[in-house]
Amino acid sequence: MKRFYLIITALLFSFTTFAQELSETDFTQVKLMKVSGKTTDKVGHITFDGNDHLTMTYTVPEGDYFIIDGNMVKINMDGKKVEFDADKVKMVGLQRATLLNCLSNNWEQAAEDNNAELTVTEEKGFRNVLIQAKGKVPKGGYKSVELTYRMSDNMMTRMVLEEAIGIINTYEMK
C-alpha cells in the first residue's frame, strides 16, 4: 500500500509540474495581416490566474488592453473599446476558451474546440505544441496555434495564433 501511495504521489507531482501555467510576464506581440503584409508591433504585460482571469495591458501602445474576466471579454485596441459576453457571442467564446486552454496547458481541449490535430514534440530543452486545423475551422477559431515551452521551468516562451481570416499574432514572453 505504501508503494502505491508513493507512485500516486510521484505521478501527481509530475502532473502538477508539467501543468504549471504562465502566471505573469512581459511580452512582445507582432500582428501580421497576411492579405496586406502589414505588421503591428506591441509591448505589454500579461497576468493569468490559471482559471478564467487574464489581463494583457499594453505599454506600446499605452492604454490598450485585452481582459478576460470570467465570461466577459474586454478590449481596448487603438482607442476602440468593446465588451463581449463570451456565452452570448459564440466566436468570442471560442477564442476566449482557446486562449485560456492554451495558457493552462489544456491543449487537448483547445484542439477539440478548433477541429484540430494536436502534436507535442520535445527538442533542445523546449516542448513544442502544434494545434493544426484538420479541415474547416469553426467561426472565430484558429487555423493553427503554436506554443513553445522552456522545459527547465515549463515557462511558455512563445505563442503563435493564426486565425482563419489571415491574421497571425506572435507573442514572445520574456
Residue-wise pLDDT tens digits, 12-42: 333 333 334 568 999 999 999 999 999 999 9
- Average pLDDT taken over every residue of the chain: 88
Is 12 inside a domain boundary? no
Count: domains in the chain: 1
- Give ∠ CA 153-155-156 in degrees, rounded to 5: 155
Residue 132 lies in a domain: yes
Is 15 part of any domain? no
List all residues 6 or more positions away from 13 whose beta carbon is below 8 Å from its beta carbon: none
pLDDT (average), residues 161-167: 93
Residue 22: predicted pLDDT: 61
Q: Report residue 89 as a C-alpha cell.
A: 457571442
Q: What is the DSSP code (8-state) at residue 49?
A: -
On whether residue 108 sits in a domain, the answer given is yes
Q: Quote helix, strand, coil % in the chain, to nearest 5.
A: 20, 50, 25
Q: Is residue 131 part of a domain?
A: yes
CATH number of the CATH domain containing 77: 2.50.20.10
Identity of the residue numbered 13:
F
Give yes or no for residue 88 having a pLDDT over 70: yes
Q: What is the pLDDT of residue 174?
A: 87
Whether 6 is in a domain gets the answer no
Domain that holds residue 127: 23-173
Question: What number is the average pLDDT over the span 66-89?
Answer: 96
* Residue 78 belongs to some domain of the structure: yes
**pTM assigned to the model:** 0.84
Residue 111 to residues 57, 74, 152, Cα–Cα distance (Å): 27, 24, 25
Residue 46 to residue 21: CA distance in whole angstroms: 12
Comparison of pLDDT for 10 and 34, the residue scoring more: 34
CA distances from 89 to 84, 86, 102, 110, 166 (A): 7, 5, 20, 18, 21
Other Cβ atoms less than 10 A from the Cβ of 174: the count is: 11
Alpha-carbon span 39 to 59, nearest angstrom: 17
Q: In what order do the strands lie in the sheet with 72-77?
A: 80-85, 72-77, 62-69, 53-60, 39-48, 24-33, 167-173, 155-163, 142-150, 126-133, 116-123
Residue 114 within a domain: yes
